[in-house]
Chains A and B, each alone.
Chain A
Protein backbone atom coordinates (compact mmCIF):
# COMPACT_ATOMS: atom_id res chain seq x y z
CA UNK A 1 0.00 0.00 0.00
CA UNK A 2 1.50 3.30 -1.04
CA UNK A 3 1.81 6.33 1.22
CA UNK A 4 -0.93 8.17 -0.71
CA UNK A 5 -3.31 5.27 -0.12
CA UNK A 6 -2.59 5.32 3.61
CA UNK A 7 -3.35 9.05 3.69
CA UNK A 8 -6.51 8.46 1.66
CA UNK A 9 -7.79 5.77 4.01
CA UNK A 10 -6.92 7.87 7.06
CA UNK A 11 -8.87 10.86 5.70
CA UNK A 12 -11.75 8.61 4.63
CA UNK A 13 -11.93 7.03 8.07
CA UNK A 14 -11.98 10.46 9.73
CA UNK A 15 -14.60 11.67 7.27
CA UNK A 16 -16.96 8.70 7.76
CA UNK A 17 -16.58 8.80 11.54
CA UNK A 18 -17.26 12.54 11.60
CA UNK A 19 -20.22 12.16 9.23
CA UNK A 20 -21.70 9.53 11.53
CA UNK A 21 -21.09 11.94 14.40
CA UNK A 22 -23.06 14.66 12.55
CA UNK A 23 -26.21 12.56 12.46
CA UNK A 24 -25.83 10.87 15.84
CA UNK A 25 -24.64 13.67 18.15
CA UNK A 26 -27.34 14.75 20.60
CA UNK A 27 -26.26 18.36 20.80
CA UNK A 28 -26.76 20.29 17.53
CA UNK A 29 -23.61 22.33 18.20
CA UNK A 30 -21.58 19.11 18.35
CA UNK A 31 -23.20 18.06 15.06
CA UNK A 32 -22.09 21.29 13.44
CA UNK A 33 -18.54 20.84 14.74
CA UNK A 34 -18.49 17.27 13.41
CA UNK A 35 -19.55 18.71 10.05
CA UNK A 36 -16.51 21.00 10.20
CA UNK A 37 -14.30 17.93 10.71
CA UNK A 38 -16.05 16.22 7.78
CA UNK A 39 -15.30 19.20 5.55
CA UNK A 40 -11.65 19.15 6.62
CA UNK A 41 -11.30 15.44 5.81
CA UNK A 42 -13.10 15.95 2.48
CA UNK A 43 -10.73 18.74 1.55
CA UNK A 44 -7.84 16.38 2.30
CA UNK A 45 -9.30 13.82 -0.09
CA UNK A 46 -9.82 16.49 -2.77
CA UNK A 47 -6.22 17.48 -2.32
CA UNK A 48 -5.24 13.86 -2.98
CA UNK A 49 -7.21 14.15 -6.24
CA UNK A 50 -4.95 17.13 -7.06
CA UNK A 51 -7.90 19.53 -6.91
CA UNK A 52 -5.97 21.92 -4.72
CA UNK A 53 -8.00 25.04 -5.44
CA UNK A 54 -11.27 23.29 -4.63
CA UNK A 55 -9.76 21.80 -1.48
CA UNK A 56 -8.58 25.16 -0.18
CA UNK A 57 -11.84 26.85 -1.21
CA UNK A 58 -13.73 24.18 0.74
CA UNK A 59 -11.79 25.09 3.87
CA UNK A 60 -12.00 28.85 3.23
CA UNK A 61 -15.65 29.12 2.26
CA UNK A 62 -17.36 26.18 3.95
CA UNK A 63 -15.33 25.89 7.14
CA UNK A 64 -14.57 29.59 7.36
CA UNK A 65 -17.92 31.07 6.47
CA UNK A 66 -20.78 28.64 5.96
CA UNK A 67 -20.12 26.62 9.11
CA UNK A 68 -19.82 29.82 11.12
CA UNK A 69 -23.29 30.71 9.90
CA UNK A 70 -24.52 27.20 10.76
CA UNK A 71 -23.09 27.47 14.26
CA UNK A 72 -24.66 30.91 14.58
CA UNK A 73 -28.05 29.55 13.59
CA UNK A 74 -27.76 26.46 15.78
CA UNK A 75 -26.60 28.38 18.82
CA UNK A 76 -29.17 31.12 18.48
CA UNK A 77 -32.32 29.18 17.73
CA UNK A 78 -33.98 27.87 20.83
CA UNK A 79 -34.16 24.30 19.62
CA UNK A 80 -35.98 22.12 22.09
CA UNK A 81 -34.40 18.73 21.58
CA UNK A 82 -37.00 16.74 23.48
CA UNK A 83 -39.79 18.20 21.34
CA UNK A 84 -37.82 17.41 18.18
CA UNK A 85 -37.36 13.81 19.30
CA UNK A 86 -41.10 13.26 19.67
CA UNK A 87 -42.53 10.80 17.19
CA UNK A 88 -39.16 9.28 16.37
CA UNK A 89 -40.58 5.74 16.43
CA UNK A 90 -43.68 6.83 14.51
CA UNK A 91 -41.68 8.27 11.63
CA UNK A 92 -38.96 5.57 11.75
CA UNK A 93 -40.45 3.22 9.08
CA UNK A 94 -40.94 5.97 6.49
CA UNK A 95 -37.50 7.38 7.35
CA UNK A 96 -35.87 3.98 6.76
CA UNK A 97 -37.79 3.67 3.48
CA UNK A 98 -36.59 7.07 2.22
CA UNK A 99 -33.03 6.29 3.32
CA UNK A 100 -33.10 2.96 1.49
CA UNK A 101 -34.35 4.59 -1.72
CA UNK A 102 -31.63 7.25 -1.46
CA UNK A 103 -28.87 4.69 -0.83
CA UNK A 104 -30.06 2.54 -3.75
CA UNK A 105 -30.10 5.53 -6.07
CA UNK A 106 -26.63 6.60 -5.00
CA UNK A 107 -25.20 3.10 -5.41
CA UNK A 108 -26.79 2.81 -8.86
CA UNK A 109 -25.60 6.24 -10.01
CA UNK A 110 -22.17 6.66 -8.44
CA UNK A 111 -21.33 3.00 -7.90
CA UNK A 112 -18.06 1.48 -9.03
CA UNK A 113 -19.50 0.21 -12.32
CA UNK A 114 -19.93 3.80 -13.49
CA UNK A 115 -16.94 5.52 -11.95
CA UNK A 116 -14.49 2.72 -11.16
CA UNK A 117 -10.95 2.45 -12.47
CA UNK A 118 -12.23 0.08 -15.15
CA UNK A 119 -14.25 2.94 -16.66
CA UNK A 120 -11.69 5.70 -16.40
CA UNK A 121 -7.97 5.20 -16.51
CA UNK A 122 -6.09 6.60 -13.54
CA UNK A 123 -4.77 10.03 -14.52
CA UNK A 124 -1.04 10.48 -14.38
CA UNK A 125 0.35 12.33 -11.37
CA UNK A 126 1.12 15.95 -12.14
CA UNK A 127 4.57 17.47 -11.92
CA UNK A 128 5.60 19.47 -8.87
CA UNK A 129 5.18 22.84 -10.61
CA UNK A 130 1.65 22.06 -11.87
CA UNK A 131 -0.86 24.62 -10.65
CA UNK A 132 -4.45 23.51 -10.52
CA UNK A 133 -5.55 27.09 -9.80
CA UNK A 134 -3.85 28.31 -12.98
CA UNK A 135 -5.58 25.65 -15.07
CA UNK A 136 -8.95 26.56 -13.55
CA UNK A 137 -8.38 30.25 -14.10
CA UNK A 138 -7.50 29.71 -17.76
CA UNK A 139 -10.93 28.20 -18.50
CA UNK A 140 -13.25 29.96 -16.04
CA UNK A 141 -12.70 33.46 -17.43
CA UNK A 142 -12.53 32.47 -21.11
CA UNK A 143 -14.39 29.28 -22.07
CA UNK A 144 -16.87 29.37 -19.20
CA UNK A 145 -17.31 33.14 -18.98
CA UNK A 146 -21.09 32.93 -19.38
CA UNK A 147 -21.66 30.55 -16.42
CA UNK A 148 -19.20 32.73 -14.49
CA UNK A 149 -21.34 35.83 -15.05
CA UNK A 150 -24.46 33.83 -14.22
CA UNK A 151 -22.80 33.00 -10.89
CA UNK A 152 -22.56 36.70 -10.11
CA UNK A 153 -26.26 37.14 -10.90
CA UNK A 154 -27.07 34.24 -8.55
CA UNK A 155 -25.01 35.93 -5.82
CA UNK A 156 -26.88 39.19 -6.51
CA UNK A 157 -30.19 37.36 -6.12
CA UNK A 158 -28.89 35.91 -2.85
CA UNK A 159 -28.05 39.42 -1.57
CA UNK A 160 -31.48 40.76 -2.50
CA UNK A 161 -33.28 37.71 -1.09
CA UNK A 162 -31.35 37.82 2.19
CA UNK A 163 -32.18 41.52 2.62
CA UNK A 164 -35.82 41.07 1.62
CA UNK A 165 -36.31 38.16 4.03
CA UNK A 166 -34.45 39.39 7.10
CA UNK A 167 -34.41 43.21 7.03
CA UNK A 168 -36.41 44.52 9.95
CA UNK A 169 -36.72 48.23 10.58
CA UNK A 170 -37.00 49.31 14.17
CA UNK A 171 -38.29 52.87 14.08
CA UNK A 172 -38.62 53.02 17.87
CA UNK A 173 -34.94 52.33 18.48
CA UNK A 174 -33.09 55.32 19.92
CA UNK A 175 -29.57 55.88 18.67
CA UNK A 176 -27.01 58.64 18.34
CA UNK A 177 -25.90 60.22 15.10
CA UNK A 178 -22.21 60.98 15.58
CA UNK A 179 -22.05 63.42 12.65
CA UNK A 180 -24.79 65.58 14.18
CA UNK A 181 -22.97 65.49 17.49
CA UNK A 182 -19.77 66.60 15.79
CA UNK A 183 -21.40 69.39 13.80
CA UNK A 184 -23.13 70.99 16.74
CA UNK A 185 -22.29 74.66 17.39
CA UNK A 186 -22.07 76.52 20.64
CA UNK A 187 -25.08 78.61 19.62
CA UNK A 188 -27.23 75.48 19.19
CA UNK A 189 -26.80 74.38 22.76
CA UNK A 190 -25.90 77.37 24.91
CA UNK A 191 -28.13 80.36 25.64
CA UNK A 192 -26.68 83.24 27.64
CA UNK A 193 -29.31 85.15 29.51
CA UNK A 194 -28.69 88.66 30.83
CA UNK A 195 -30.29 89.31 34.18
CA UNK A 196 -30.16 91.77 36.97
CA UNK A 197 -27.54 91.13 39.59
CA UNK A 198 -29.03 90.40 43.00
CA UNK A 199 -28.57 93.01 45.68
CA UNK A 200 -26.37 92.09 48.59
CA UNK A 201 -28.44 91.80 51.74
Chain B
Protein backbone atom coordinates (compact mmCIF):
# COMPACT_ATOMS: atom_id res chain seq x y z
CA UNK B 1 0.00 0.00 0.00
CA UNK B 2 2.83 2.36 0.83
CA UNK B 3 4.13 2.30 -2.74
CA UNK B 4 1.04 4.32 -3.72
CA UNK B 5 2.36 7.17 -1.64
CA UNK B 6 5.79 7.34 -3.27
CA UNK B 7 4.65 10.19 -5.58
CA UNK B 8 3.56 12.14 -2.49
CA UNK B 9 6.99 11.66 -0.93
CA UNK B 10 8.71 12.74 -4.13
CA UNK B 11 6.42 15.75 -4.29
CA UNK B 12 7.29 16.71 -0.68
CA UNK B 13 11.02 16.36 -1.43
CA UNK B 14 10.82 18.46 -4.60
CA UNK B 15 8.79 21.08 -2.73
CA UNK B 16 11.30 21.24 0.12
CA UNK B 17 14.28 21.43 -2.24
CA UNK B 18 12.69 24.08 -4.45
CA UNK B 19 11.69 26.22 -1.49
CA UNK B 20 15.06 25.89 0.22
CA UNK B 21 16.94 26.59 -3.03
CA UNK B 22 14.93 29.77 -3.63
CA UNK B 23 15.54 31.09 -0.13
CA UNK B 24 19.24 30.20 -0.12
CA UNK B 25 20.02 31.39 -3.64
CA UNK B 26 17.84 34.49 -3.59
CA UNK B 27 18.55 35.49 -0.04
CA UNK B 28 22.19 34.62 0.47
CA UNK B 29 23.99 33.85 -2.77
CA UNK B 30 22.70 36.00 -5.62
CA UNK B 31 21.19 39.10 -4.09
CA UNK B 32 23.48 41.86 -2.83
CA UNK B 33 23.18 42.28 0.94
CA UNK B 34 24.26 45.61 2.33
CA UNK B 35 21.99 46.09 5.35
CA UNK B 36 21.95 49.26 7.38
CA UNK B 37 19.68 50.26 10.30
CA UNK B 38 17.31 52.29 8.14
CA UNK B 39 16.89 49.45 5.61
CA UNK B 40 16.25 46.97 8.38
CA UNK B 41 13.56 49.07 10.02
CA UNK B 42 10.00 47.78 9.50
CA UNK B 43 8.97 50.89 7.53
CA UNK B 44 11.92 52.12 5.54
CA UNK B 45 10.10 55.20 4.36
CA UNK B 46 7.26 56.24 6.62
CA UNK B 47 6.39 56.33 10.25
CA UNK B 48 7.63 53.91 12.81
CA UNK B 49 4.76 51.84 14.19
CA UNK B 50 2.92 53.76 16.89
CA UNK B 51 1.88 50.76 18.94
CA UNK B 52 2.22 47.01 19.15
CA UNK B 53 0.70 44.91 16.39
CA UNK B 54 -0.90 42.63 18.98
CA UNK B 55 -4.22 44.01 20.02
CA UNK B 56 -7.39 42.56 21.44
CA UNK B 57 -9.67 41.30 18.70
CA UNK B 58 -13.38 40.72 18.69
CA UNK B 59 -14.21 37.33 20.16
CA UNK B 60 -16.67 36.69 17.33
CA UNK B 61 -13.80 35.70 15.05
CA UNK B 62 -13.15 32.71 17.32
CA UNK B 63 -16.81 31.79 17.24
CA UNK B 64 -16.76 31.60 13.46
CA UNK B 65 -13.50 29.62 13.54
CA UNK B 66 -14.76 27.14 16.15
CA UNK B 67 -18.02 26.58 14.28
CA UNK B 68 -15.96 26.00 11.13
CA UNK B 69 -13.82 23.37 12.90
CA UNK B 70 -16.89 21.52 14.15
CA UNK B 71 -18.38 21.21 10.69
CA UNK B 72 -14.95 20.37 9.29
CA UNK B 73 -14.84 17.39 11.67
CA UNK B 74 -18.32 16.41 10.57
CA UNK B 75 -17.10 16.33 6.96
CA UNK B 76 -14.20 14.06 8.00
CA UNK B 77 -16.78 11.46 9.05
CA UNK B 78 -18.48 11.64 5.67
CA UNK B 79 -15.46 10.42 3.65
CA UNK B 80 -15.28 6.79 4.89
CA UNK B 81 -19.08 6.66 4.88
CA UNK B 82 -19.25 7.64 1.22
CA UNK B 83 -16.69 4.98 0.30
CA UNK B 84 -18.45 2.05 2.03
CA UNK B 85 -22.00 3.19 1.34
CA UNK B 86 -22.76 0.10 -0.78
CA UNK B 87 -21.48 -2.32 1.87
CA UNK B 88 -23.25 -0.96 4.94
CA UNK B 89 -26.64 -0.48 3.29
CA UNK B 90 -29.70 1.09 4.89
CA UNK B 91 -28.29 0.75 8.41
CA UNK B 92 -25.33 2.94 7.54
CA UNK B 93 -27.53 5.52 5.84
CA UNK B 94 -29.78 5.70 8.91
CA UNK B 95 -26.74 5.94 11.22
CA UNK B 96 -25.36 8.85 9.22
CA UNK B 97 -28.86 10.37 9.09
CA UNK B 98 -29.05 10.44 12.89
CA UNK B 99 -25.50 11.84 13.07
CA UNK B 100 -26.28 14.61 10.63
CA UNK B 101 -29.68 15.18 12.24
CA UNK B 102 -28.11 15.88 15.63
CA UNK B 103 -25.65 18.28 14.02
CA UNK B 104 -28.43 19.98 12.08
CA UNK B 105 -30.06 20.70 15.45
CA UNK B 106 -26.86 22.51 16.39
CA UNK B 107 -26.86 24.30 13.06
CA UNK B 108 -30.46 25.48 13.54
CA UNK B 109 -29.56 26.56 17.08
CA UNK B 110 -26.63 28.68 15.90
CA UNK B 111 -28.68 30.12 13.05
CA UNK B 112 -31.58 31.08 15.33
CA UNK B 113 -29.20 32.40 17.98
CA UNK B 114 -27.70 34.71 15.37
CA UNK B 115 -24.17 33.31 15.67
CA UNK B 116 -23.79 33.50 11.90
CA UNK B 117 -24.90 37.12 11.74
CA UNK B 118 -22.23 39.79 11.71
CA UNK B 119 -24.46 42.63 12.91
A residues near B, CB below 8 A? 4, 7, 47-48, 50, 52-53, 57, 60-61, 64-66, 68-69, 72-73, 75-79, 125-128, 130-134, 136-138, 140-142, 145, 148-149, 151-153, 155-156, 158-160, 162-163, 166-170, 173, 175
Contact of A65 among B68, B79, B91 (CB under 8 A): B68
CB distance from A198 to the nearest CB of B (A): 48
CB neighbors of A among B72-107 (8 A) = 72-74, 76-77, 79-81, 83-84, 87-88, 91-92, 95-96, 98-100, 102-103, 105-107
Known: A50-B1, A125-B2, A158-B70. A148 touches B99 (CB 8 A): yes
Chain B residues in the interface with A (C-beta under 8 A): 1-5, 9, 52, 54-57, 59-63, 65-70, 72-74, 76-77, 79-81, 83-84, 87-88, 91-92, 95-96, 98-100, 102-103, 105-107, 109-110, 113-115, 119
Q: State A174–B43 Cα separation when bound (angstroms).
A: 35
Set A57, A69, A128: member contacting B4, Cβ < 8 A = A128
Of A69, A138, A153, which contacts B66 at CB under 8 A? A69
CA distance A153 to B100 in the complex (A): 10
Are B88 and A137 interface neighbours, CB within 8 A?
yes
Jot down 28 A-B pairs with beta carbons below 8 A, ordered by A: A47-B2, A47-B5, A53-B79, A61-B73, A69-B69, A72-B65, A75-B54, A78-B52, A128-B1, A128-B4, A131-B83, A137-B81, A137-B87, A141-B92, A141-B95, A145-B95, A153-B102, A156-B102, A158-B70, A159-B103, A162-B66, A163-B115, A166-B63, A167-B113, A167-B114, A168-B60, A169-B119, A170-B119
In the complex, chain A residues whose CB is within 8 Å of the CB of B63:
162-163, 166-167
A76 to B58, CA, bound (A): 9
Is B83 in contact with A151, judged by CB distance below 8 angstroms?
A: no
User: Are B102 and A166 in touch, CB under 8 angstroms?
Assistant: no
Q: A69-B66, A149-B102, A159-B106 given. 6 additional CB < 8 A pairs?
A: A133-B80, A137-B83, A138-B88, A156-B106, A159-B107, A166-B63
Look across to chain B and name the residue whose beta carbon is closest to the beta carbon of A171: B119
Which residues on A sit within 8 Å (CB–CB) of B70? 155, 158-159, 162
Compute how far the CA of A191 lies from the CA of B10 in the bound complex, rounded to whole angstroms. Answer: 73
- The CA of A133 and the CA of B80, in the complex, are separated in Å by 5
Q: Are B95 and A156 in contact (CB under 8 A)?
A: no
* Closest 7 pairs (CB-CB, A-B): A137-B80, A137-B84, A76-B57, A159-B106, A141-B92, A152-B102, A78-B54
Q: Is B115 a contact of A134 with CB atoms below 8 Å? A: no
By the criterion CB–CB under 8 Å, are B2 and A50 in contact?
A: yes
- B72 in contact with A61 (CB, 8 Å): yes
